[in-house]
Structure 1
Amino acid sequence: MNVQNPIIRGTYPDPSICRRGRDYFLVNSSFDYFPGLPLFHSKNLVEWQQIGNCLTRDEQLDLKDVKSSLGIFAPTIRYINERFYIIFTNTNSGQNLLIQTADPFGDWSNPLPLEWGGIDPSLFADTDGKIYVQGTAERWGEEKGIYQAEIDLATGKLLSPRTLISKGTGHKSPEGPHLYRKDDWYYLMMAEGGTEFGHMETIFRSRCVNGPFESFEGNPFLTNRSTGSKLQCVGHADLVDSPTGDWFAVCLATRIKGSHNYYHFLGRETNIAPIEWTEEGWPIVRGLELLPDFPLFEGYTRAPESQTTYDFSTMTTFSDEWLHISNPLASNYQFCEAGLQLRGGCSLSEIGQPTFVGLRQDEFTYSFTAEIESMKDTTAEIGVSVYMSHAYHVDFFIQGEAIWVRKKIGSLESLEQVGTINQSLTCLKVSCDGQRYQFVHVSDEKESVLAEIETIFLSTEISGTFNGVIIGLYTWNKTVESTNYINKVQVKKICE
């Protein structure tokens, strides 16, 4: 059965993949969200289950005062000597870091700072036991390109000089490098062109681990630039082989909206493509939008429509898919018989630790409904936010006996009362059809649309961010602390 990309939907960018036996593990960037580094497991490369997040403790991940779309960049996961390693950049601290575990279903170590600059670090274990790190140029003082050195995984110290091994094909932003060994060749792969519509993946090879690397005549070997494809911005790939010797590339891509002016707001998502190797030993991509039949993929089907209900009165913690902006203040989130108890933090427009917990929007046709019990405190807001960044979000909330909508679009901000409530239990719904968001009050099973906004105003092309939309629950107290409850959240979506 044919498989349709993306395989992991919503804002799960910069995928990196490794294999242990018949088990595949994949990790993504998480930027300014906590917990960090979502981790997935699969047996067939198309059905993925999130098995946790790798950075779950404050001592592992400090995002305080982080700006939107900064934080955790471009991880690489590798299985080396019966241990799993993830190397990544935290732009908030300006460090490249390494975590490890023997059990990817369990906890990961605290990060080890590395003697390595730039962003997008990667690891390669050679057959002689030597370990190499690759990455981009440091921001200041180095020529653009991909750098490499031998590294000690126990100490994070370099064992050889930091050396420029490739400048790419000459396009902008050579980044996201990975090194592989196959048939006595070393293959260096990287992203070029920037992570926007000019994004592409290029590949090079050498008989020596330090080069010189020759460029594939077919570069870029993976891209959808200058095409009419509904998958755009394709790149930042990683390769993996199967136990049968087949090869695959995972990469990011965006699903775009708009027939003339392309834009996207779901974020950069994880996709997969089978790889063929030419007689000359170069990789060729087989399909991306609709994947060809492949034995590993057999029996896979994606449900066209799904619904999930989160009853907070029966929960004791957030499941792996829920996200906070920056490190959450744990005392502001309490589970009890009445549901999820929220206490207010800073405004969503401030850089800080707001009281917010949300889910990645992962389909164009999507609804998020929250059942709220308000204490009628006229100083407190409680409701649902469609959140792209500190500067781009729309808040649909209750304050006292009024229902409000705030639209924060860059330097433009509007605040409008759109309704009233006459009971403590209120149902607020955000509905998306791909072109617009509607903000709906649900009462006695009757729905009243109170406001709307076009999705383009929360797109990456307008906001200038790396993330996709997160829809979540928040509260904000202007003057005093108050308590409000979220009883249930229901999410519905249709797969396109």
Structure 2
Amino acid sequence: MKRCFIAMAAAAAILTSGCNSDIKVSPGQAYFASFTYTGNDPLFDPANLGNGEIFNPILQGSYSDATICRKGNDYYMVTSNYAFFPGIPVLHSTDLVNWEQICYAFPTEQHLFNTSLRSEQGLFPTTIRYDKNGDMFYITGTLVGGGGHFISKAKNPAGPWTTPEWLYGFGGVHPSLFFDDNGKAYLINQGDPNYDVPYLDFKAVWCQEFDPKTMSLVGERRILLAGGDNIESRPIWLESPQLYRKGDYYYLLASEGGGLGNGFATCAYRATDIWGPYEHYAQNPILTQRRLPAGRENAVTNTGRVDMVEAHDGNWYAVFQGARPYTPNNDFNQGRETFMMQVTWEDNWPYLLRNGESVPSKLRAPLGAQYKKDTAAFARYIPHGNFTYTENFDTDSVPLQWEMLRTPSGVSIVPNGEPGIVLPLEMNNIRSQRHAGFLGFRQMHNVFSASTEMHFVPQTSSEFAGLALFLADDNNYEFGIGYREGDCLLILQKAVKDDSGIFKVEIKSQRVPDDFIGRIFLKVERKDDGFVFSYKASPDDDYTVFSDKVQVEYLSLSRRNAFYGVHIGLYASQEE
């Protein structure tokens, strides 16, 4: 008798009469009873912290391209999540240390999304700003691969946010609003100059007045800055401009060098008139890790995209992106994380670090704050340092720390108070650059393990379900259960791309264990010499190694030129 046919019959019994007696998994579905993630980076040993110190980054994992604003004693950040759904995480804090995700700005596919975004497209860096004159919050950004530049507003940052309105008449990326003390508002962005450029990837910062009442741009568009700080060094990809006003000056911050390279840097400029001319800070850049030794201890690379906020105690703080590589070649999988530093003002110029100084891995907590004790990881706050997070999906909605690909998957929380979540076997696979049955959780540590209990019996050779490690459409691992010629198989496979497209390559497969009756426990661990994929058929068993020394660097953002970090997720497809 073929193994899968036996499992189908046995699974029907266990799924209706076992520990989950009210849970029924129909053909075409996979049921995940739980998910557990444990992170254990040596950097985050609590013994490393002194009194009053916190870890840097302040947000681990792919909370990338953070921007920040303040209303009273409340601080709000947004981060970018590219082709993932829902769109644009919105976070809140009262102390700049403990951050809670309060919503997604764009929670429905009607807001922005389409089903054919590539993984490197979608919601590029966004900016959140508060207009005290109108008591209104705004988010601006660019949907690459979609409608272009957009703006949305909300009275309450927890939502609802308005359906985005498209902004026309300019190109580039990274639009950002600035509300002046005199009541006027301006939109700045990165774009191509309106003249022949001296070299490739020479960019400019543009500015135009913005009317909040009509949500439209008015007046002439002008260039505030072209090229970057030192044109003789041929800087490229001037980007992520932000405007501020302090005292007699307007301050412009802009990054250059490309957000995926260790040559990334942020420079400061100032003027007494918003239209310029802008003076270059003699000690630029105000933040960079370029030219520091590769492989240094607790290295932070790819630093840039600085955004500043004046705290309610009068000090200024900056958030910025950075990466924590695990090789001297700048390999990193978690994505670009959110770091913070206090801003130093000297001679009416802001800076974070002098050239040659390293981003600190710990810092004095702003505002005298301390880490707040949560009942469990993600119970309210995004956790810091090392932690274990177990998700039983026992609430009435998918938790905010989970994301889908492109558009909502048909996931459903198991009703009647039972734990677990059901994923339909979607028509598209995870490599298809289409909507897929994937529910992902950010990898937040270099050293981690993730596991799930899955109930699933494939019916055809096209069906597959299990764990997936997703970096991009053409860079992902899939570990789970498939079907061939009457046998249920454990399969580990990965995505490969060539001139003909993206396809899967099997790393290993074998028949399921003899005691497999529709339930399997799957686990992935990151160890020094690679990923280890393991399984067991019963909760009382020890895990059996299925494949070890699986290449970690395959999921490195720097090798793929990917923008968003690895997500470890639950996956189900009927198009394998």
TM-score, scaled to structure 2: 0.79
Q: For the Cα contact (< 8 Å) 2:193–2:204, is it kept in 1?
A: no
Separation (CA, whole Å) in 2 of partners of 1:396 and 1:272: 36
Q: Percent identity?
A: 28
Q: Pick one of 525, 546, 549 that aligns with 1:450.
A: 546
CA distance 1:42–1:142, shift in 2 (3 Å)? farther
Separation (CA, whole Å) in 1 of partners of 2:384 and 2:334: 19
**Pair 1:321 & 2:407 matched:** no
**Pair 1:124 & 2:204 matched:** no
CA distance 1:396–1:294, shift in 2 (3 Å)? closer
Cα offset, 1:159, TM superposition: 1.3
Match runs of 1:13-52 below 5 Å: 13-52=64-103
SS in 1 for 2:308: strand
Q: Which residue of 1 aligns with 2:388?
A: 307
Separation (CA, whole Å) in 2 of partners of 1:458 and 1:383: 18
Q: Pick one of 492, 511, 525 that aligns with 1:431.
A: 525
Q: Which residue of 2 aligns with 1:221?
A: 286
Separation (CA, whole Å) in 2 of partners of 1:304 and 1:245: 28
Separation (CA, whole Å) in 1 of partners of 2:194 and 2:532: 45
SS in 2 for 1:462: helix
Separation (CA, whole Å) in 1 of partners of 2:91 and 2:270: 30
Kindly report the root-mean-square deviation, in angstroms, between the aligned alpha carbons of the 2 structures. 2.0
**Pair 1:270 & 2:338 matched:** yes
- Greater Cα radius of gyration, structure 1 or 2: 2
Separation (CA, whole Å) in 2 of partners of 1:373 and 1:468: 28
CA distance 1:156–1:413, shift in 2 (3 Å)? same
SS in 2 for 1:362: coil
Match runs of 1:54-453 below 5 Å: 54-80=105-131, 81-115=134-168, 116-138=170-192, 144-167=203-226, 168-169=228-229, 170=231, 171-195=235-259, 196-228=261-293, 230-258=299-327, 260-278=328-346, 280-285=347-352, 288-294=359-365, 296-300=367-371, 304-312=385-393, 314-330=394-410, 333=412, 335-336=414-415, 337=418, 339-345=420-426, 346-379=428-461, 380-400=463-483, 401-411=488-498, 413-415=504-506, 416-421=508-513, 422-433=516-527, 436-443=530-537, 444-452=540-548, 453=550
Q: For the Cα contact (< 8 Å) 2:54–2:365, is it kept in 1?
A: no
CA distance 1:247–1:291, shift in 2 (3 Å)? farther
Cα offset, 1:96, TM superposition: 0.9
Q: For the Cα contact (< 8 Å) 1:134–1:148, is it kept in 2?
A: yes
Q: For the Cα contact (< 8 Å) 1:418–1:451, is it kept in 2?
A: no
Cα offset, 1:375, TM superposition: 2.9
Separation (CA, whole Å) in 2 of partners of 1:194 and 1:307: 34
Separation (CA, whole Å) in 2 of partners of 1:285 and 1:383: 44
**Pair 1:7 & 2:58 matched:** yes
CA distance 1:200–1:434, shift in 2 (3 Å)? farther
Code of the aligned partner of 1:388: L
Q: Which residue of 2 aligns with 1:494?
A: none
CA distance 1:118–1:435, shift in 2 (3 Å)? farther
SS in 2 for 1:28: strand
Separation (CA, whole Å) in 2 of partners of 1:433 and 1:16: 33
Instruction: Show structure 1 runs of 4+ deviating over 4 A.
Output: 138-143, 301-304
Q: Which residue of 1 aligns with 2:36?
A: none
Q: Which residue of 1 aligns with 2:47?
A: none
Higher relative contact order (CA 8 A, sep 6+): 2
Separation (CA, whole Å) in 1 of partners of 2:490 and 2:321: 38
CA distance 1:118–1:478, shift in 2 (3 Å)? closer
Deviates most, 40-49 or 428-437? 428-437
SS in 1 for 2:219: coil
SS in 1 for 2:218: coil
Q: Please give the per-residue CA displacement for 1:224-266, whole angstroms capped at 9, x wherever unaligned.
A: 11113510000001000111210011000000111x3221111
Cα offset, 1:8, TM superposition: 0.6
Separation (CA, whole Å) in 1 of partners of 2:437 and 2:122: 19
Q: Please give the per-residue CA displacement for 1:98-140, whole angstroms capped at 9, x wherever unaligned.
A: 1111111232111011134321001111122111000011599
Q: Please give the per-residue CA displacement for 1:57-104, whole angstroms capped at 9, x wherever unaligned.
A: 111121320001211011111110211111111112242111111111
SS in 1 for 2:559: helix
Code of the aligned partner of 1:267: G
SS in 2 for 1:39: strand
Cα offset, 1:460, TM superposition: 1.1
Deviates most, 386-395 or 462-471? 462-471
SS in 1 for 2:181: coil
Q: Please give the per-residue CA displacement for 1:17-56, whole angstroms capped at 9, x wherever unaligned.
A: 0001111100011100001111111121122111121110
Separation (CA, whole Å) in 1 of partners of 2:220 and 2:388: 54
Q: For the Cα contact (< 8 Å) 2:533–2:546, is it kept in 1?
A: yes
Code of the aligned partner of 2:311: S
Q: For the Cα contact (< 8 Å) 1:407–1:414, is it kept in 2?
A: yes
Separation (CA, whole Å) in 2 of partners of 1:284 and 1:474: 44
CA distance 1:304–1:17, shift in 2 (3 Å)? closer
Code of the aligned partner of 1:343: P
Separation (CA, whole Å) in 2 of partners of 1:445 and 1:297: 47
Structure 1: any 5+ residue segments left out of the alignment? 480-496
Structure 2: any 5+ residue segments left out of the alignment? 1-51, 198-202, 373-382
Q: Which residue of 1 aligns with 2:45?
A: none
